[in-house]
Chains A and B, each alone.
Chain A
Amino acid sequence: MMSWLRRPASETQITHGQRLWLYILAGIVIVFLVAPTLIVIPMSFSDSQYLEFPPRVWSTRWYDHYFASEEWTQATYTSIKIAFLTMLVATPLGIMAAYGLATSSFKFAQLIFITLITPMMVPVVLIGIGVFYAYVQLGMVNTIPGVVLAHTILAVPLVLIVVSAGLKSYDMNQERVARSLGASRFYAFMAITLPQIRFSVITAALLAFITSFDEVIIAMFVSGGENSTLTRSMFNALRDQIDPTIASISTIMVLISTTLLVASMVFGTTGREEK
């Protein structure tokens, strides 16, 4: 241990001991980032109304409460359905746009790229009230397609960025070879390009899913009644009081997002190994 402290840590010959403070600071920041998310999990198994940690009495009381409540299970089902549909719409739209921008070298392609990623920059509240206003006129408030379309424009920029990055490291000449051998452009894309950028596509699709699944503000305005999303119900419950049921829901949501993160990292690593 002592010798490790005196060993050089970087090209500038600074020793591990001299920058011990950096390790400690980074460690604290990592704990700060991870702990609050993970601590909810054991807390959700507490029997107490006040969510003790560590729980004095363990129970699945709040999970029973969650599964018994039709309001919560219905909202969960709605959220998953909306997220899945958003993924199905946003992924092809984003791939088409990324492919179009990558292959046509027009000067104003950059302008289209910026147009497509503006939903990332415009405050979501503004999109929320704009969509709400438009849906009131169109009679689409509290409908599934309404929420899906609004979530799609939030997800398309992410799909576009991830797939564009994938296409950048892909050699488009392979597709040209296929076409010179008689394949149509569509067939060449499906048979040659798509399989090789599939890891970016999978990551993009997972991001689209999670974007919709976690979205609160647009859902707050345009989802309601029986089509209320899980996040909307959670947000409303949070504003009233600390309902321990939310801890169990949070645990379930953490499990879902961790699964998606692991999936994206596994696919991402496999993708890198193949190159």
Chain B
Amino acid sequence: MVASEYQDSPGVVYEQQPNADGLRNDAFWERARLLGLCSPAVILVMIIMVLPVAWLFWLSFLDDTGALTLEHYQRMIEKKAYGRIFYTTFEVSFLTTLICVLIGYPLSYLMSQLSPRWATFCLIAVLLPFWTSLLVRTYAWLVLLQRKGLVNGWAIDLGLWDAPIKMVHNLSGTLIGMVHIMLPFLVLPVFGAMKAIDRDFVKAAANLGASPVKAFWMVFFPLSLPGLFAGGLIVFVLCLGFYVTPAVLGGGKVIMVSMKITDTIELFFNWGAASALGVVLLIMTMGTLWISSKLLRLDRVLGGGR
């Protein structure tokens, strides 16, 4: 070994340490052993998720007789029904994300400025649905929005509308339920990002003569954009693969990719077709994440959830 290799650590003279190589070796193996602590979790993820999904990937290229084919993918392109399902999936995901941003951003903004006591109160209000079963919340909306439900009853009593409006088992019911479930995923990262913004910037803008509105749009808003992108991305990606809420509140009229996949398995036992849909769904999800990671740092997005 040439001594000059170690010159990058200043103040340490390695020539006088004959054990340097041995120590380096030991350090390497110790770090490797420590990393080995991850192996049980990694092995489990490999066996339970990666291998089966890889197997599905393979199945998606096989027909009934086990011969290689592209028919499952061809069907997706040729049949109009599939196009509609993908369109619905994107439509629901996009609208949910948009509504979440529009109502979640002002809430996060206010929370970031409230006194600790009120901010904690709001945080509990955001966290309570986060910890409550998704199924319970979907059920609650089903009860509230049905024809004889509470929302229709109160709206008619207040004279907002005359006859019961159909609010569930359609797109609007699905969107109400999805926004309710996704909103905490947006508010938590956006709130976190806003708390980290140095308020002196806004003060400086006000000091230099900016009106409150101008100081917000020119200083605060651009600084909060990374957090908003992160939150919006989490919501969008989670929506793409969502199943329970559209299945219950959509009433069979809002068919998303994930629902088509389960139907294909449960009703038709067609593993090839279901796998092909799953592969496309996975590519859509990972593609969205990949494109976004080019735009912003992925670890910040993924770590910002809770």
Q: Describe A's contact surface by its main secondary structure.
A: helix
- A250 engages B31 (CB within 8 Å): no
- A123 engages B258 (CB within 8 Å): yes
Closest beta carbon of chain B to A16's beta carbon, Å: 11
Q: Is A194 an interface residue (CB 8 A)?
A: no
Closest beta carbon of chain A to B154's beta carbon, Å: 9
CA distance A213 to B132 in the complex (A): 10
For A43, what are the chain B residues with a Cβ–Cβ distance below 8 Å?
A: 143
Instruction: List the B residue with the shortest CB-CB distance to A160.
Output: B41
For A197, what are the chain B residues with a Cβ–Cβ distance below 8 Å?
A: none
- A214 engages B42 (CB within 8 Å): no
> Across chains A and B, which 4 residue pairs bring their CB atoms closest together, nearest first?
A123-B241, A130-B52, A100-B37, A14-B212
- B42 engages A112 (CB within 8 Å): yes
- A93 engages B107 (CB within 8 Å): no
Q: Is A75 an interface residue (CB 8 A)?
A: no
Given contacts A29-B107, A131-B48, 4 further A-B contacts (CB under 8 A): A97-B38, A104-B31, A125-B281, A265-B127
- A116 engages B129 (CB within 8 Å): no
Interface residues of A in 100-126 (CB under 8 A from B): 100-101, 103-106, 109-110, 112-126
Q: Is B136 an interface residue (CB 8 A)?
A: yes
- B126 engages A33 (CB within 8 Å): yes
For A134, what are the chain B residues with a Cβ–Cβ distance below 8 Å?
A: 48, 51-52, 55
For B106, what are the chain A residues with a Cβ–Cβ distance below 8 Å?
A: 22, 25-26, 29
Q: Is A235 an interface residue (CB 8 A)?
A: yes
* 9-residue interface stretch from B2-10, B14-22, B243-251: B243-251
Closest beta carbon of chain A to B157's beta carbon, Å: 13
Instruction: List the A residue with the shortest CB-CB distance to B281.
Output: A123
Q: Is B61 an interface residue (CB 8 A)?
A: no
A36-B141, A133-B52 known; A242-B125 Cβ under 8 A: no
- B35 engages A129 (CB within 8 Å): no
Q: Is B299 an interface residue (CB 8 A)?
A: yes
- B44 engages A149 (CB within 8 Å): yes
A11-B199, A30-B122 known; A105-B285 Cβ under 8 A: no
- B305 engages A12 (CB within 8 Å): no
For B203, what are the chain A residues with a Cβ–Cβ distance below 8 Å?
A: 11-12
- A22 engages B110 (CB within 8 Å): yes
Total number of B residues with any Cβ neighbor in A under 8 Å = 92
Q: Is B222 an interface residue (CB 8 A)?
A: no
Given B38, B48, B258, B281, which contacts A112 in the complex, CB threshold below 8 Å?
Answer: B38
A118-B45, A125-B243, A149-B44 known; A235-B32 Cβ under 8 A: no
CA distance A272 to B60 in the complex (A): 50
CA distance A36 to B55 in the complex (A): 41
Q: Is B265 an interface residue (CB 8 A)?
A: yes
CA distance A210 to B127 in the complex (A): 13
Given A22, A53, A130, A246, which contacts B109 in the complex, CB threshold below 8 Å?
Answer: A22
A104-B31, A210-B131 known; A125-B278 Cβ under 8 A: yes
Q: Which residues of A contact B (CB under 8 A)?
A: 9-14, 18, 22-23, 25-26, 29-30, 32-34, 36-37, 39-40, 43, 50-51, 53, 93-94, 96-97, 99-101, 103-106, 109-110, 112-134, 149-150, 152-153, 156, 158, 160-162, 165, 207, 210, 213-214, 216-217, 220-221, 231, 234-235, 238-239, 242, 246-247, 250, 253-254, 257-258, 260-261, 265
Interface residues of B in 219-253 (CB under 8 A from A): 237, 240-241, 243-244, 247-248
- B212 engages A12 (CB within 8 Å): yes
Closest beta carbon of chain B to A235's beta carbon, Å: 6
- B148 engages A96 (CB within 8 Å): no
A26-B107, A36-B137, A37-B136 known; A123-B282 Cβ under 8 A: yes
For B133, what are the chain A residues with a Cβ–Cβ distance below 8 Å?
A: 213-214, 231, 250, 253-254, 257
Q: Is B40 an interface residue (CB 8 A)?
A: yes
- A254 engages B132 (CB within 8 Å): yes
Closest beta carbon of chain B to A208's beta carbon, Å: 12
For A122, what are the chain B residues with a Cβ–Cβ distance below 8 Å?
A: 49, 53, 241, 282, 285
CA distance A105 to B28 in the complex (A): 10
Instruction: List the A residue with the shortest CB-CB distance to B240.
Output: A123
User: A-facing mask of B22-43, CB < 8 A → 1, else 0?
Assistant: 0000000011101111101110
For B66, what are the chain A residues with a Cβ–Cβ distance below 8 Å?
A: none
CA distance A208 to B20 in the complex (A): 44
13 example contacts (A-B, Cβ-Cβ < 8 A) are as follows A33-B128, A37-B136, A106-B32, A113-B299, A121-B286, A129-B56, A134-B51, A217-B262, A235-B248, A239-B247, A250-B140, A254-B132, A257-B132
Q: Is B142 an interface residue (CB 8 A)?
A: yes
A126-B278, A130-B52 known; A96-B128 Cβ under 8 A: no
Interface residues of B in 103-143 (CB under 8 A from A): 103-104, 106-107, 109-111, 113, 122, 124-129, 131-143
